[in-house]
Amino acid sequence: MVEIKDFIKNFAEQFDETEFEMITAETEFHELEDYSSLVALSVIAMIDEIYGVIIGANEMKSSVTVCDLFNKVVAKLNNGK
Amino acid sequence: MGNNPFSLVGKTILVTGASSGIGRSTAIECSRLGAKLIITARNETRLRETFESLEGNDHLQVIADVTKSEDMACLVQSIPPLDGFVCNAGITKRKPINFVNENDLREIFEVNAFASILLTKALAKAKKFNRGASLVFTSSKAAKIVTVGNSMYAASKAAIESFARSCAVEFASKGIRSNAILPGMVETPLVSGGMLSEEEMEQDKARYLLKRYGKPEEVAWAIVFLLSDASTWITAISLDISGGGRFVK
């Protein structure tokens, strides 16, 4: 079972400066000061490594909140079953 | 037409990674200039598509996974002596350094560096390079100018750029030339793998003096030049083919 709270923790770990507490499911992550192409690639790599799902750059771009991204991961996991 | 130093008539040329992108385009352009091609790749369907696009007759296609020693041995045995060798097969994977893992790293180096080096060695040992042959190694601009997430690919391409120079030194006594090409971003299946968003690609293109990515044939034409007699005094160079990408950062 994939939990959003774990996902948020894994997501937050990809940031150097942004504190974990600052990130919630509703955070519009593209607006975070610390967000960069390296963070985006790290999130993509984290999702691949931990969830075994490939998220493309365009899907990252079209996700506004952390929850949007989580939902895409869940949808892909369900499709894979 | 008289003497045309850019012609490849009478030359036999091996191209690896010929099933798509720069490799496919190189094979096709070489055939148009009169070369006899031996093309190789792992994917049978896509390699056949390249083969069917070649102009002229007497070409040869060999399905081979150059990372497998038995495939490599078979390939080397089955081909005639070469006047040109385009060592081009390559793969990539974008991951930040924190996510580099041994499997990915080994896979990338296996294809981009190990197989290229070992195949070159096997061809040389089997005396498959004619006197005056030209070797062209597909390195990458990434060997010199890196971007985030590209460490594994960049390191492997730096290895092959360097190896091209070693070939130039060790094979010079046989009149064999060896050069590396360093393409910038080219619109091939390798870069359209979805790792850059469309917006990021547009921003990236703006960094090139010519404001666009290259086309596979634009790299192929440079390779053709290095294979032809028009470049007989050029060896041990790394040719930047990137629409002026190096000047803007």
Chain A residue at shortest CA distance from B195: A57
Domain boundaries, chain A: 4-75
Compare all CA atoms of chain A with the CA of B100 and give the residue at the minimum distance: A45
CB contact under 8 A, A37 and B200: yes
- B182 has a pLDDT exceeding 70: yes
User: Residue B48: in which H helix or E strand, if any?
Assistant: helix B44-53
Among the partner-chain residues B95, B148, B194, the one whose CB lies closest to the CB of A58 is B194
Question: Residues B242, B191: contact at Cβ < 8 Å?
Answer: no
Domain spans of chain B, in order of start: 12-239
pTM of the model: 0.91
Which residues of B, range 123-162, sit inside 8 Å of A by Cβ? Answer: 148-149
| Domain B12-239 coded CATH 3.40.50.720 | yes
Chain B contact set for A58 (CB, 8 A)? 194, 197-198
Q: What is the pLDDT of residues B145-177, one digit of tens each?
A: 998 899 999 999 999 999 999 999 999 999 999
Which CATH homologous superfamily contains domain A4-75? ACP-like (1.10.1200.10)
pLDDT of A23: 94
User: Which residues have CB under 8 Å from A30's CB, separation 6+?
Assistant: A61, A64
Q: How confident is the model at residue B228 (pLDDT cuts 50, 70, 90)?
A: very high
- Would you say residue B128 has pLDDT above 80? yes
Query: Best interface-test mutation with B: which of A10, A13, A44, A60 has the largest number of B CBs within 10 A?
Result: A44
Q: What ipTM does the predicted assembly reach?
A: 0.81
B101 contact residues in A (CB cutoff 8 A):
49
Please give the pLDDT value at position B116: 97
CA distances from B205 to B62, B184, B185, B208, B244 (A): 36, 10, 9, 6, 11
Q: Residues 58..117 of B with a Cβ closer than 8 Å to A: which?
A: 94-96, 98-99, 101
